[in-house]
Amino acid sequence: MEFRILGPLEVVEDGNPVALGTLKERLVLAVLLLHANEFVSRERLIDDLWGEAPPPTAREAVYVYVSKLRKTLTREGHDPIATASGGYRLHIEPESTDLSRMHVLVGDARELVAEGEMEKAAARFQDALSLWRGPTLAGLQLESLGRDEVTGLDELRLTALMDRIECDLALGQHEQVLGELRVLIREHPLRERLRAQQMLALYRADRQVEALDAYAAARHTLVEDLGIEPSEALQRLQQAILRHDPSLETPTGTAAVNGLPPDASSSAAPPQALEQGRRWGFRPRRWQVAVTGLILLAGGAAAAAILSSSASATLKIIPDSLVELNPRTGKPIEMARVGLDPGTIAVTPTAIWTANAGDNTVSRYDLRTHTVQPRAGYPGMPLDVAVDGDGNAWITSSGHGTPGFPPHNAFVTRLEAGPGGTSTGALYPSHVQTIGLPLPMAGFETLGGGYVWVIVGGHGPNPGDDRVALVDLRTHQLASVIHLHESATAIAFGYGSAWIGAYTYGSAMRVEAIRAGSSKPTTVVLEKHAVWGPLWIAVGAGAVWALTADALFQIDPQTLQVIHRLDFSVPQNGALAVGAGAVWVVNDYSPGHPRDTLTEIDPHKDQVIRTSTLGDRAQLPNSYIAATRSALWVTFGDSQPCCVGR
Whole-number pLDDT of residue 6: 94
pLDDT tens, position by position, 179-234: 999 999 999 999 999 999 999 999 998 898 999 999 999 999 888 877 888 888 89
Whole-number pLDDT of residue 407: 55
Q: Decide: 275 and 628 in contact? Cβ < 8 Å.
A: yes
Whole-number pLDDT of residue 120: 93
The total number of structural domains that make up the chain: 3
Whole-number pLDDT of residue 272: 29
Tell me which of 247 and 527 has the higher pLDDT: 527
For residue 173, how many C-alpha atoms fall within 13 Å in the half-sphere facing its CB?
14
Tell me which of 615 and 447 has the higher pLDDT: 447
- Asked whether residue 210 is domain-assigned, the answer is yes
Region 253-282: mean pLDDT is 33
Q: Are residues 500 and 628 in the same domain?
A: yes
Phi/psi at 240 (5° precision): -65, -40
- Among 149-158, 463-472, 526-535, 579-588, which stretch is predicted with the lowest mean pLDDT? 463-472
Cα 125 to Cα 121: distance, rounded to the nearest angstrom: 6
Q: Are residues 65 and 113 in the same domain?
A: no
Per-residue pLDDT at 346 exceeds 80: yes
| Extended beta strands in 207-325, E state | 272-273, 282-283, 307-308, 321-325
- Among 113-117, 140-144, 254-258, 411-415, which stretch is predicted with the lowest mean pLDDT? 254-258
Cα 107 to Cα 163: distance, rounded to the nearest angstrom: 12
Q: Decide: 434 and 396 in contact? Cβ < 8 Å.
A: no
- Asked whether residue 316 is domain-assigned, the answer is no
- Asked whether residue 304 is domain-assigned, the answer is no
- Asked whether residue 644 is domain-assigned, the answer is no
Per-residue pLDDT at 484 exceeds 60: yes
- Asked whether residue 545 is domain-assigned, the answer is yes
- Picking from 49, 73, 96, the residue at the C-terminal end of a domain is 96
Vertex 583: Cα angle to 328 and 457 (nearest 5): 135
Cα 149 to Cα 184: distance, rounded to the nearest angstrom: 22
Q: Are residues 265 and 410 in the same domain?
A: no
H/E element, 98? helix 98-114
Cα 582 to Cα 566: distance, rounded to the nearest angstrom: 14
- Asked whether residue 503 is domain-assigned, the answer is yes
Closest by CA to 428, choosing from 364, 490, 382, 367, is 364
Closest by CA to 543, choosing from 564, 522, 529, is 564
Cα 470 to Cα 455: distance, rounded to the nearest angstrom: 9
Q: Decide: 240 and 269 in contact? Cβ < 8 Å.
A: no
Closest by CA to 276, choosing from 549, 518, 601, 630, is 630
Per-residue pLDDT at 322 exceeds 60: yes
Q: Are residues 50 and 131 in the same domain?
A: no
Q: Are residues 219 and 355 in the same domain?
A: no
Q: Decide: 248 and 595 in contact? Cβ < 8 Å.
A: no
Q: Are residues 108 and 81 in the same domain?
A: no
Whole-number pLDDT of residue 589: 56
CATH for 496 = 2.130.10.10
Mean pLDDT of all residues belonging to the chain: 80
Q: Are residues 264 and 325 in the same domain?
A: no
20 Cβ neighbours under 8 A, 6+ residues apart: 9, 11, 26, 29, 72
Q: Are residues 147 and 248 in the same domain?
A: yes
Whole-number pLDDT of residue 641: 43
Q: Decide: 368 and 284 in contact? Cβ < 8 Å.
A: yes
Cα 612 to Cα 598: distance, rounded to the nearest angstrom: 5
Region 362-387: mean pLDDT is 84
Whole-number pLDDT of residue 251: 55
Whole-number pLDDT of residue 406: 58
Cα 410 to Cα 450: distance, rounded to the nearest angstrom: 20
Q: How confident is the model at residue 523 (pLDDT cuts 50, 70, 90)?
A: very high
Closest by CA to 542, choosing from 620, 604, 633, 465, is 604
Q: Decide: 218 and 229 in contact? Cβ < 8 Å.
A: no
DSSP string, 306-343: -EETTT-SSPPP-SSEEEEE-TTT--EEEEEE-SSSEE
Amino acid, res. 476: H
Q: Decide: 523 and 485 in contact? Cβ < 8 Å.
A: no
Cα 203 to Cα 212: distance, rounded to the nearest angstrom: 9
H/E element, 393? strand 393-398
Q: Are residues 469 and 535 in the same domain?
A: yes
Q: Decide: 471 and 478 in contact? Cβ < 8 Å.
A: yes
What torsion, rounded to 10 degrees, do the Cα atoms 421, 422, 428, 433 define? 40
Range of 270-274, 394-398, 560-564 with top mean pLDDT: 560-564
Packing angle, helices 42-50 and 144-170, rounded to 10: 80
- Asked whether residue 18 is domain-assigned, the answer is yes
Q: Are residues 83 and 165 in the same domain?
A: no
Q: Are residues 87 and 225 in the same domain?
A: no
Q: Decide: 536 and 573 in contact? Cβ < 8 Å.
A: no
Closest by CA to 572, choosing from 556, 596, 554, is 596
- Among 94-98, 203-207, 425-429, 516-520, which stretch is predicted with the lowest mean pLDDT? 425-429
Vertex 112: Cα angle to 109 and 117 (nearest 5): 120
Region 409-427: mean pLDDT is 62
Tell me which of 92 and 308 has the higher pLDDT: 92
Cα 128 to Cα 105: distance, rounded to the nearest angstrom: 6
CATH for 210 = 1.25.40.10
- Among 11-20, 22-31, 392-401, 542-551, which stretch is predicted with the lowest mean pLDDT? 392-401
Q: Decide: 479 and 519 in contact? Cβ < 8 Å.
A: no
- Asked whether residue 51 is domain-assigned, the answer is yes
What is the SS3 assignment for 633? Answer: strand
- Picking from 75, 96, 117, the residue at the C-terminal end of a domain is 96
Whole-number pLDDT of residue 544: 95
Cα 644 to Cα 11: distance, rounded to the nearest angstrom: 47
Whole-number pLDDT of residue 464: 42
Whole-number pLDDT of residue 76: 81
Vertex 581: Cα angle to 577 and 585 (nearest 5): 30
The proportion of the chain whose per-residue pLDDT surpasses 90, expressed as a percent, equals 36
Q: How confident is the model at residue 426 (pLDDT cuts 50, 70, 90)?
A: very low
**Domain hosting residue 579, numbered range:** 321-636
Q: How confident is the model at residue 403 (pLDDT cuts 50, 70, 90)?
A: low
- Among 16-25, 56-65, 275-284, 525-534, which stretch is predicted with the lowest mean pLDDT? 275-284
Per-residue pLDDT at 615 exceeds 60: no
Kind of pairing between the strands at 632-636 and 87-90: unpaired
Q: Are residues 443 and 533 in the same domain?
A: yes
Phi/psi at 597 (5° precision): -130, 155
Phi/psi at 268 (5° precision): -75, 145
Region 485-497: mean pLDDT is 90
- Among 87-101, 289-303, 531-545, 632-646, which stretch is predicted with the lowest mean pLDDT? 289-303
Closest by CA to 630, choosing from 414, 327, 209, is 327
- Picking from 96, 125, 154, the residue at the C-terminal end of a domain is 96
CATH for 35 = 1.10.10.10
Whole-number pLDDT of residue 306: 52
